[in-house]
Amino acid sequence: MRHFPIFLSLAGRTALVLGAGEAADTKARALRDAGASVRRVTKFSPELLDGCAIAVGAGAEPDALAALSAAAQARAIPVNIVDHPALCSYFSAATIHREPITIAIGTAGTAPALARLVRARIEALLPANLGDLAAFAGRFSARIRTALPALSARRALLDRLFAGRIGELVLAGETAAAEAALTAALADAPASLPGIVHLVGAGPGAPDLITLRAQRLLGEADVIVHDRLGTDAVLDLARRDATRINVGKARANHCLKQHEINDLLIRLAREGRKVVRLKGGDPFVFGRGGEEAAALEAAGIAFEVVPGVTAALACAAQARIPLTHRDATRAVTLLTGHGADGPARLDFDALVRSRATLAIYMGLHALPHLRDGLLAAGLPPATPAALVERGGTAHQRLLSGDIASLAAQAPAWSSGGPALILIGDAVGHGLPPA
């Protein structure tokens, strides 16, 4: 985040607007709408800033604009010089008004036209009288707080209020019916809710490759327990005030032991929290999600599993490598090259005989072992193979070849990110990068 977004109270404060023309007029009007008294001038001198809470310049001599910027910044008065990002200490936002809700969109001064496009899209999503809903909730907030002292219970009710029938009634203007429904809901709502754990697949790390359900749960969870693997951008989807706990594991550098993670999830749920256990890719593909689910079940904790895009699918898609192909292979095998202690013991004969595309997780360090095993079991040495690092993200890298060339080149080629090996005739049907 390059800037710190805030909403400024300007009622009764003075705003300096330097310059003439449409941009200056628009700024002056917006400042007046926010309750400021506007000091409108066409020439600058520093004492004009006395008592000002904010300053804007547009359509004046370049020297005057530069002087305003310098003087305002020397006094720590927020200043915006229209179309001169270098002279600004703040940028104004494109705004959407649903009083008392205001949505502000910023582009750090880089692309105001894009901000207008985003605004138009959001405008179209939001009912015109959305503000009525906020006002309605505001009127009842004291009663809701008294009836439901526990935050999680309150939040559950408010989610229902906003998204459900009560919200629809408010938006339809049926305030009396909405009030009656809310009163009934308050009488029925349990004072506290049992906790729950959602085992959520985060996909390969790109935030737009998670499911809509995962996105919603991230926005609702009280606590996010997450791994190290490529989930930072995804974490930005979480509620700002959610607690984040990193239990991430790097190879041979375990932060928390698996049983400690299990115990943590159980404890958080018993405290009544709504927990998202965020795991790279899919929770049930080499993610030890099965062990966490079993521990939760044994402890009597409610849980739900939300699938994610697993590395094999993300890597194949972005590298333009089909996993199956009618002319090549009709099966895919997901396997791991790494066992509990050292290289996995694999049935190489069966793997080669199956002619399946092999998608090998955690295989980088076991590559020589995989090469020896597969070739000894009769894999044709020219079988196409690929190594995909940070697949499905903006930093994806691809190394193509065969199993022997990958094993030879991988140590120098790897930049340390998670990498997946693909082997099989279907890999030869891959297309060059776009």
List the one residue out of 316, 327, 326, 269 whose CA is nearest residue 297: 269
CB atoms within 10 A of CB 431: 9
Closer Cβ to ligand SAH, 31 or 276, answer by number? 276
How is residue 73 written in tokens?
A: 């910044």
* Distant-in-sequence, close-in-space partners of 248: CB < 8 Å, separation ≥ 6: 226, 227, 228, 229, 255
Q: Give the rounded distance of the alpha carbon of 29 from its chain centre.
A: 36
Q: Which residue is nearest to ligand SAH (CB)?
A: 281
Residue 8 beta carbon to ligand SAH: minimum distance, rounded to whole angstroms: 41
Asked if residue 362 binds ligand SAH (CB under 6 A), the reply is yes
Print the binding letters for residues 106-145 with ligand SAH: x by CB under 6 A, - otherwise.
----------------------------------------
Contact between 358 and ligand SAH by CB under 6 A: the answer reads no
Shortest distance (Å) from residue 257 CB to ligand SAH? 17
Compute φ and ψ for 306, nearest 5 degrees.
-115, 115
Residue selected from 59, 392, 424, 430 as contacting ligand SAH according to rule CB under 6 A: 392
Q: CA nearest 49: which of 22, 21, 89, 3? A: 89
Binding of residue 68 to ligand SAH (CB under 6 A): no
Nearer to ligand SAH, 167 or 283 (CB): 283
Catalytic residue among 83, 159, 249, 372: 249
The C-alpha angle with vertex 108 and arms to 220 and 112, in degrees rounded to 5, equals 100
Report in angstroms how near the CB of residue 296 gets to ligand SAH at its nearest. 18
Determine which residue in the list 204, 373, 424, 430 makes contact with ligand SAH, applying CB under 6 A.
204
**CB hemisphere CA count around 226 (13 angstroms):** 26
CB of 204 to ligand SAH, least distance (A): 4
Instruction: Indicate the pairing of strand 342-343 with strand 338-339.
Output: antiparallel
Please give the residues from 251 up to 280 whose contact with ligand SAH meets the rule CB under 6 A.
279-280
Nearer to ligand SAH, 109 or 281 (CB): 281
Task: Give 28 or 419: the residue with its C-beta nearer to ligand SAH.
Answer: 419
Nearest residue (CB) to ligand SAH, 56 versus 387: 387
227 is catalytic: yes
User: Could you confirm whether 274 is annotated as catalytic?
Assistant: no
Site membership for ligand SAH, residue 318 (CB under 6 A):
no
Question: What residues from 275 to 314 belong to the interface with ligand SAH (CB under 6 A)?
Answer: 279-282, 285-287, 310-311
The single residue among 391, 410, 422, 430 that binds ligand SAH, judged by CB under 6 A, is: 391
User: Taking the CB of residue 410, how many other CB atoms lie within 10 A of it?
Assistant: 20
What is each CA distance from 67 to 87, 198, 286, 317, 361, in whole angstroms? 10, 56, 61, 54, 60
- Residue 426 CB neighbour total at 10 angstroms: 25
Residues whose CB is less than 8 angstroms from the CB of residue 168 and which lie 6 or more positions away in sequence, other chains included:
none
Q: Which is nearer to ligand SAH, 44 or 286 (CB)?
A: 286
Helix H or strand E segment including 54 = strand 52-57
Could you give the residue numbers annotated as active site? 227, 249
The binding site for ligand SAH (CB under 6 A) comprises 204-205, 229-230, 279-282, 285-287, 310-311, 315, 361-362, 388, 390-393, 418-420
